[in-house]
Structure 1
Amino acid sequence: MTENILGKEPAPSAGSPRPGGPGRINPADRTQLALKPVSLKRIVALFAPHKVTITAVVLLISASSVVSLAQPFLVRGIIDTALPNRDIKMLAWLAGAMIAVAAATAMIGVVQTWMTTAMGQKIMHTLRTRLFTHLQKQSLAFFTRTRSGEVQSRLNNDIAGMQSVITSTATGVASNVTTAVATAAAMVVLSPQLSLLSLLVIPPAVWFSRRVALLRRDITATMQAELATMNTQVEEGLSISGVRLAKTLGTTGHDARRYTASSERLIGLELRSQLAGRWRMATMGIIFSAIPALIYFAGGLPGNTMSIGTIVAFTALQATIFRPIMGLLNLGVQWVTAMALFSRIFEYLDLVPEVTAPIRPVVLDPATVRGEVRFEGVRFAYDGGAEVLHGIDLALGAGTTTAVVGPTGSGKSTLGALLPRLHDATSGRITIDGVDVRKIAPDVLARIVGVVSQESYLIHDTIRENLLLAAPDADDAVLWSALASAHIADLIAGLPDRLDTLVGARGHRFSGGEQQRLAIARTILRNPRVLVLDEATSSLDNTTEAQVQAALDRLAVGRTTLTIAHRLSTVEDADQLAVLAGGTLVELGAPAELRDAGGAYAALIASGESLEPVG
């Protein structure tokens, strides 16, 4: 894995501004390819299902290039024969042929665009879905150490960048080669002498054009980076959390000044983009004007037998050959950029999931699970570092409640995360009804083990849609029953849109306690046999905590519950209490017994580090 996957500062994305001046390949692209080379065979495999389309597109490109070359010859016939001889019939045929050629090339272009775009979209769809589903298989640790913006950039920006590679660069190569070769051949047929003259004039024109194009490309890349900065400022400053932060810290003026500065920089960049290489463009204009002038001059020299139609046709061909040559000259930069995009996408596709689904999962019916949970010699370390848990042996009887307490950093939340396989134990095993959780299919395990954490997550949709995530087939009666069990049905019933109320971004339409109760209702709909409650009330005030705790108590009835606790209100009613210290299980027993024993639990209460004093 490269550094950007290990949580360090990510390398610049493909297509970002290239330091070092115009005309150079993006160093970030070279670095990406050096770290993660791309196999051409692997890229070809993406196009393999589209062999028929590719063949048809190449034939269409060739046909379009050849057909379009008929125009100069038709013009020559009109000028040299039809007009001087007043041959109306020939003039009509040649003029009609010119229209037919234009129509044919236009139709071929439409069909070609449709085929290449459809093929490109299918390939992008394949990459998008493969990457999305593959990232879903990654462990929680991957998303903890990787910036969310980096993941989104790979999934959205890089794959979107493939559009130009697939539909423009690839087809552009075939089109430019075919057009350049066919045009050069036609020029030689018309006049070998003038063809030699064109070869002398085209190189400086190509050089000037390429320099201007690369200069503008660098400025455009800088503009895109500035636009990205502005987009980030909009996202941070105008989101619900951002606006709340700005208003409470009094930074609205500062944020506005930052945005204004970025906008002003865009003005300068736009001016530079429009004025970039103007003197070069002026020189090019002179050269392009000089080319037909030289051709006309050469055609008028004594002893020249070329007709006027031939000279006009040659001039048109000479102008046509410039575009494909420029396209081929840019191929090197386009190729490296394209390979860098493939490299970034394949880099994520090659990630090996740390938590893998079993190849042959044990058949387990969630409806018949009793819910007996055992931690047997469980050890765990993050990313190969120091162990966080040391040989935990803990049994949770079916239908019982076990509370886990301990000072900050003792491994409580880590222990709770191992049961639903948000991480996998480094050694030892965790079983449900005697079956290792690593041998249970992920979707089945998610139906058996429900999690309610301190941070409840609601999608930006209606209450109904948030609840249906847990039970897609549930009707309104079932939804209202779950809300009632979570002690929030009366609140929802009092809203104008009831179940169709939008929860807002990250659930900000509701308070923290209300979000928690909605999350609890969602878990009730899931009806898991085993519950993990990870400090679900730790950030709530006393009144809200009491309401949420009542909902949790209702939820826990008849289920095996592992509660990561920080307050006595969630500990004293537990069937058993496990005390962790430094990743080791130091005490286990009934809460009252441990309190009276004067051991680690009693010391923890006295210290007030993690638990409120009794009473």
Structure 2
Amino acid sequence: MPRPSTHTPDSRRADRRQLAESPVSLRRIARLFAPYRRRLAVVVALIVVSSLVGLAQPFLVRHVIDEALPRQDVRLLLLLVTGMVGVAVATAALGVAQTWLSTTVGQQVMHRLRSDLFGHLQRQSVGFFTRTRGGEVQSRIVNDIGSMQSVVTSTATSVAANVTVVLGTAVAMVALSWRLALISLVVLPPAVVLTRQVARMRHAVTAARQARLADLHVQVEEGLSVSGVLLTKTLGAGPALSRRFDDTSADLVGLEVRSQLAGRWRMATMSIVFAAVPAALYLAAGLPATSGGMTIGTLVAFVALQSALFRPLMGLLNVGVDLTASLALFSRIFEYQDLPVEIADPADPTRLGDVRGEVRLDHVTFSYGGADVLHDVDLVVPAGTSLALVGATGSGKSTLAGLVARLHDPTSGAVRLDGVDLRDLALADVASAVGVVTQESYLLHASVRDNLRHAKPDATDAEIEAAARAARIHDLVVSLPEGYDTLVGSRGHRFSGGEQQRLAIARTLLRDPRVLVLDEATSALDNTTERAVQAALDELAHGRTTITIAHRLSTVRDADQIAVLDHGAVVELGTHEELLLRGGRYAELVRGGLEQPVAA
């Protein structure tokens, strides 16, 4: 039976749209497989040999029926039967070898493509990930590349095998009986068309059923998750959700019935085809006008060839759909591979010796979407000193901090570390010299030890524990049943927000950067937790150049310099006392009291 296509009408339309938007060069695809030319040639050779060897089977059967059995020639019968077994063994062995080679080549190509794409996306700017839908990147790397293997191990090999079988079978059928071959040419096309029409009907029903199943899954996820249940209970929306779920489930009843009937219709059609074609051949062989003195062995061999022809013929008819789907997958991957790298390593990077930690923003302007987020910012943070950034939401504080860590490049001007433009330094050197602690501490689903070692893969256990002590988190970790081998859970859910922050601080301490950027690192914490985290931050900032996006005045007042940003420009710069005396924007921010939050 031919393999049913898994591509729905909606998916086929999506594939064609993808190819129209991002055409794929077949030459580019061929380059992916160029290193494996010899192996692919062997695969094709194995397919051709296996297909041709398999065609010998009907001829052996004919000789058994027409010669060996009537003559009772035991020697000939043994030779023919041995040949039949040998053909089966040979085709099976060739099939295993072909599958092993094609799968190996496909996996190696996909591995290289997957690794190259992962590395390329790692080099993309933060802006790419903020404008890309959640899950889209993972889907392309995992699902699309995984599906692309079928180009080698399924689509390409099946085309070669089907073409060989169809051509070889057609020649063999003519050689056996040109009269029966003509009859087959008349009977087979309508049978193929009928089967295709039933398949299309099933695809349409399947597409509708899958859409309703997707709706059902979404409703379960939204209605029965913790957040969904809380929302439903607080809004009193339970009855409405239940009615909606009931309607969707009821729709599925009819679609499931139609899907099963469509499947049965397809099976029934196939059964009719498999019965009708041999019946027509038997009829032709029995009529004096069309038999032409045909032997029984020839008729049996011809019917066997005819039955073997239907599967590869249907496979070739589905090649267009499979090829379009495969090219669409390549298009999606190449679309990501062709993304320009906005933040790239210089061709000949400057090497810093011992980093002192002086940071200078030299008339920096940064534009996003045609508008200036920062405008002509000119600041110097001497090595070992601290700068606090304050200002209203949207004033450009986080953007400025991101420029210092080279998460973005300025549109004009330069950000310099010890007098060297960050764009002239290797990205690894910038990451080593500049540490960042943000409000959201991202932890891996791994042990505490592995999370800390993520910052420094060669760190010793002693170094890890020293960093944890400095971050005021060691005592908590060792009190856990598994200590440093405790899994932090997805996104660190086993730890509170303050504990996660201290783990992040320990991770940064392990890298020992000379410049530290603190981006609202305590803004989401309660007062008690904030004091514990602030103590760890003070330890982290000791002796380092520190740029802090301020949250509370208690943090700001101790800074060596305070820069007040307004609409992307530095409107005030000085110490806490100097800025208070000026009575300007900074004074407005702190007028509410010493422990009131500064707008950030």
Q: Which interval holds the TM-score relative to the shorter structure?
A: over 0.9
- Alpha-carbon shift at residue 385 of structure 1 (Å): 2.3
Equivalences for residues 121-520 of structure 1 within 5 A: 121-222=107-208, 242-244=225-227, 246-247=229-230, 250=233, 269-276=255-262, 278-279=264-265, 281-302=267-288, 304-365=292-353, 368-382=354-368, 384-520=369-505
| Residues 38 and 578 (structure 1), Cα distance of their counterparts in 2 relative to 1, 3 Å cut | same
Specify whether residues 493 and 282 from structure 1 end up closer, same or farther in structure 2 by C-alpha distance, changes over 3 A only.
closer
CA separation of 1:117 and 1:53: change in aligned 2, threshold 3 A: same
- 2:148, 2:134 → 1: CA distance? 21
Q: Is the 8 A contact 2:452 2:507 kept in 1?
A: yes
Q: Give secondary structure in 2 for the equivalent of 1:195.
A: helix
What is the alpha-carbon distance in structure 1 between the residues aligned to residue 445 and residue 246 of structure 2?
Answer: 30
Give the secondary-structure state (helix, strand or coil) at the position aligned to 2:524. coil
CA contact (8 A) 2:515 2:544 kept: yes
Contact in 1 for aligned 2:488/2:495 (Cα 8 Å): yes
Q: Which amino acid aligns with 2:295?
A: S
Equivalent residues in 2 for 1:515-526 (5 A)? 515-526=500-511
Deviation string for 1:423-480 (max 9, x for gaps)?
1111110000001111111111111000000000000111011000012122222211
Select 2:83's aligned residue among 62, 85, 97: 97
In structure 2, runs of 5+ residues without a counterpart are none
Alignment RMSD: 2.5
Q: Deviations over 1:570-611 (max 9, x none)?
A: 101101100001111011111121112211110222378995
> Equivalents in 2 of 1:257, 1:516: separation in Å?
44
- Work out the CA distance in 2 between the residues paired with 1:525 and 1:233: 45
In structure 2, the partner of 1:18 is 9
Distance 2:164 2:256 in 1: 35
Decide whether the 8 Å contact of 2:199 with 2:266 is kept in 1: no
Question: Which stretch shows the higher mean deviation, 335-344 or 223-232?
Answer: 223-232
2:37 corresponds in structure 1 to 51
1:72 and 1:187 mapped to 2: Cα distance? 10
Distance 1:358 1:461, change over 3 A: same
Give the aligned partner of residue 549 of structure 2: 564
Aligned amino acid, residue 486 of structure 2: T
* Distance in 1 between residues matched to 2:486 and 2:90, nearest whole Å: 55
CA contact under 8 A between 1:530 and 1:559: conserved in structure 2?
Answer: yes
Query: Aligned partners of 1:530, 1:277: CA distance in 2, in Å?
Result: 66
- Separation in structure 2 between the aligned mates of residue 269 and residue 133 of structure 1, nearest angstrom: 44
CA distance in 2, matches of 1:76, 1:473: 72
Q: Give SS of 1:250's match.
A: helix
Structure 2: distance between partners of 1:525 and 1:437 = 22
Q: Provide the C-alpha distance between the structure 1 equivalents of 2:68 and 2:243, rounded to a whole number of angstroms.
A: 69
Inter-CA distance 26–381: structure 2 relative to 1 (3 Å threshold): same
Q: Percent of counterpart pairs with the same letter?
A: 59
Q: 1:119 to 1:427 in 2, by over 3 A?
A: same
Single out whichever of 427-436 and 259-268 deviates more from structure 2: 259-268
Distance 1:15 1:151 in 2: 23
Residues 437 and 519, structure 2, Cα contact 8 Å, conserved in 1: yes
Please say which of residues 464-473 and 183-192 is displaced more in the overlay. 464-473
Preserved CA contact (<8 Å) 1:513 1:545:
yes
Instruction: Give the AA of the match of 1:183.
Output: T
The alpha carbon displacement at 1:273 in A equals 3.1
Partners of 1:371 and 1:399 within 8 A in 2: yes
Residues in 2 aligned to 1:70 and 1:333: alpha-carbon distance in whole angstroms: 32
Q: In the aligned structure 1, how far is the partner of 2:245 from the partner of 2:453?
A: 40
Following superposition, the deviation at residue 290 of structure 1 comes to 2.2
Deviations, residues 39-87 of structure 1 (Å, cap 9, x unaligned): 1110110111110111101111110111001110111111111111111
Change (3 A) 1:445 1:405: same
Distance 2:220 2:465 in 1: 38
Q: Following the alignment from structure 2 to structure 1, what is the Cα–Cα distance between the partners of residues 463 and 489?
A: 23
Q: Which whole-Å deviations, capped at 9, do the CAs of 1:536-564 have from their partners, x for residues lacking one? A: 00010111111101100010000000000
- Name the aligned partner's letter for residue 111 of structure 1: A
Distance 1:260 1:91, change over 3 A: farther
Amino acid at match of 2:35: P
The aligned residue for residue 5 of structure 1 is none
1:604 to 585, 589, 598: 589
Cα distance change on mapping 1:262 and 1:102 into 2, 3 Å: farther
Counterpart-to-counterpart distance in 1, 2:411 and 2:276: 75
Between 275-284 and 354-363, report the one with greater CA deviation.
Answer: 275-284
Q: 2:98 aligns with which of 91, 94, 112?
A: 112
2:388 is paired with a residue of what secondary structure?
strand
Structure 2 residue aligned with 1:8? none
CA shift, 1:216, in A, is 3.1
Write the distance in 1 (CA, Å) between the matches of 2:347 and 2:256: 56
- Whether the 8 Å CA contact 1:362–1:441 is kept in 2: the answer is yes
When structure 1 is superposed on structure 2, of 587-596 and 191-200 the one drifting more is 587-596
**Matched-pair contact (CA < 8 Å) for 2:376–2:569:** yes
Shift in alpha-carbon separation, 1:606–1:354, aligned structure 2, 3 A:
same
Q: How many residues align?
A: 590
Q: CA deviation at 1:245?
A: 5.7
- Alpha-carbon distance in 2 for matches of 1:458, 1:439: 31
In 2: Cα distance, 1:610 partner to 1:136 partner:
41
Measured in 2, the distance between the counterparts of 1:600 and 1:541 equals 27
Which one-letter code corresponds to 1:361 in the other structure?
P
C-alpha distance 142-236 of structure 1, shift in aligned 2 (>3 A): farther
Partner of 1:3: none
CA distance in 2, matches of 1:166, 1:49: 14
- The answer on whether the counterparts of 1:209 and 1:281 sit within 8 Å (CA) in structure 2 is no
When structure 1 is superposed on structure 2, of 474-483 and 178-187 the one drifting more is 474-483
- Structure 2 counterpart of 1:321, which letter? L
Using the size of structure 2 for normalisation, the TM-score is 0.93
Letter in 2 for 1:246: V
Whether 1:62 aligns to 2:48 is: yes
Contact 2:395 2:567 in 1 (8 A): yes
Instruction: Classify the secondary structure of the residue corresponding to 2:361.
Output: strand
